[in-house]
Amino acid sequence: MICKVGINGFGTIGKRVADAVQAQKDMVLTGVTKTKPDYGAVMAINKNYPLFSATQDHYEKLNNSDLEVQGDINNLIDISDVIIDCSPSGFGIKNKKKYKNKDVKAIYQGGEPSDIADTSFNSTANFEESLGKDSTRVVSCNTTALCRTLYPIHSQFNLKKVRATMIRRGADPNQDSRGPIDSIIPKMEVPSHHGPDLQTIIPDIDIDTTAVKVPTTIMHMHLINFELNKETSPDQIINLLEDSPRVALIDDKLGINSTSQIIEIARDLYRPRNDIWETPVWRESIKKSGDEFYLFQAVHQESDVVPENIDAIRALMEMEKSGEKSIKITDGSMGLLDKLYEL
C-alpha cells in the first residue's frame, strides 16, 4: 500500500519529516501547512510540496500572497491517511479534536503530554505497541536517544538503575531570540521530566535524570551512568551497541572529540542540513568503575526523531509488523550509518 501522509507544521521537525516521507517508496506526501508566507512556505513550494494553511484563519494571509495554496488543514486531513503533527509544543493537543472528528490517524511529537495519544513510540523499543492504533507520540529527541542505547542494554543485561544528566543546547540554530548567552542554566525540576518520559516506553526501568542548558545551538550531550544486575564488561556493552540500530559509535582517537566535530562529519557526508539522525556514542566513554558504567552520547535535537516518525507511520497503518523491518527500510532510504567515522 502507499500511505498518504500530511504534515501539520513545516518548521524544524516538519520540514525534515517531509523530506524523509518523500524518500520512502511506500509513502506519498499529501501536503504541509504554514501560518504565514515566509521563507519556509517558499521552500515548500520550491520543493513541490502542496501547501496548506495551518488553520482556517491563516488561509487568507497565505492565499493573498503570491504562493499557490491548496486549502486549509481540514482539506489536508481529508486527503491524508495519517497526519504528522509537527506544530509547536502545546498546539498538538489543540489539533487533536480536528483529527479525531475526521477519523484520521495522528502522530504527535515529544513536546506534547504523553496522554495525548494511544501510545508513546520508539522504533527500537516498542514498535509493535503502536500497530493499528489511531495515534502515537514520538518521544522527544532526548528520550529517543536514551531509548536507543538503554533499551538494548536493559534487554540484554538487565539495568539495575540509571542516572543521567542532559546537557541541553540553549536554542536551535534558527532561534536567535532564545538563550542562554554566556550562561549555564540548571533545570530546577529534579528529577527532570526525561526519566518519566523514558518510562512511557520502558516502564520497568529505574531512572532519574537532571538537566542543564548551555550556550550552544548544535547538539545536546548526555552523561549517563548505570548499574547492571548481570556481571558485564565494557567490551560487552560496546559490542552490543555496535549491533544496535541507530547507534553510531565514534572514536576519540580519530579526532571526534566534540559535538562540533560530529557536525563537521555531517558536513563531510553532505548530509542535508548537517543532520545526524543516529545517536553518536563515544567508544572511549564506555568504562566501568566499581559496579557503575559510564557512557557519553550526543543528540542532534533537530533530526534524531525523524526516522522514528517514518516508522510510526508504518506502525499505525500496519504497513510493517516488525520494527526491525521498518527500521531497515527507513535507514536504507535515508542513508543512516552504523559508524559515522567511516567517511
Give residue 55's pLDDT.
Answer: 86
**pLDDT by residue (tens digit) across 51-76?**
999 988 888 888 778 889 999 999 99
Arithmetic mean of pLDDT, 213-236: 96
Q: Inform me whether the pLDDT recorded for 47 exceeds 70.
A: yes
Name the superfamily (CATH) of residues 3-139+305-334: NAD(P)-binding Rossmann-like Domain (3.40.50.720)
Compute the residue count for the chain. 343
Q: Measure the N-to-C terminal CA separation of the chain; round to a whole number of Å.
A: 35
- Catalytic status, residue 141: yes
- pLDDT for 276-311, tens place per residue? 999 999 999 999 999 999 999 999 999 999 999 999
Tell me which of 52-66, 207-221, 229-243 is least confident. Answer: 52-66
So what's the pLDDT on residue 261?
95
Under a CB-based contact definition with an 8 Å cutoff, are residues 209 and 192 in contact?
Answer: yes
Rounded to the nearest 10 degrees, the angle between the axes of helix 323-334 and helix 306-316 is 140
Which class does domain 141-299 fall in?
alpha beta
pTM of the model: 0.96
Phi and psi at 154, nearest 5°, equal -65, -40
pLDDT tens string 158-180: 999 999 999 999 988 888 888 89
Q: What integer is the mean pLDDT of 89-113?
A: 95
pLDDT in tens, 9-30: 999 999 999 999 999 999 999 9
Integer angstrom CA distances of residue 266 from 10, 57, 169, 242, 263: 22, 39, 18, 19, 5
Which pLDDT value is given to residue 64?
79
Percent of all residues in the chain with a pLDDT value above 70, rounded to a whole number: 99
Distance CA(309)–CA(123), nearest Å, equals: 9
Q: 47: Cβ–Cβ under 8 A, 6 or more apart, which residues? A: 18
Res 326: pLDDT: 98
pLDDT at 343 over 60: no
DSSP structure string for 38-62: SHHHHHHHHTT--EEESSHHHHHHH
The label of the residue with cell 534487554 reads: 155
Q: How would you write 180-195 as a 3-class SS string?
A: CCCCCEECCCCCCCHH
150 is written with which cell numbers? 538503554
Segments making up each domain of the chain, as ranges:
3-139+305-334, 141-299
Residue of 3, 86, 141, 147 marked active site: 141
Provide the pLDDT for residue 341: 65
Task: Indicate the DSSP class of residue 140.
Answer: P
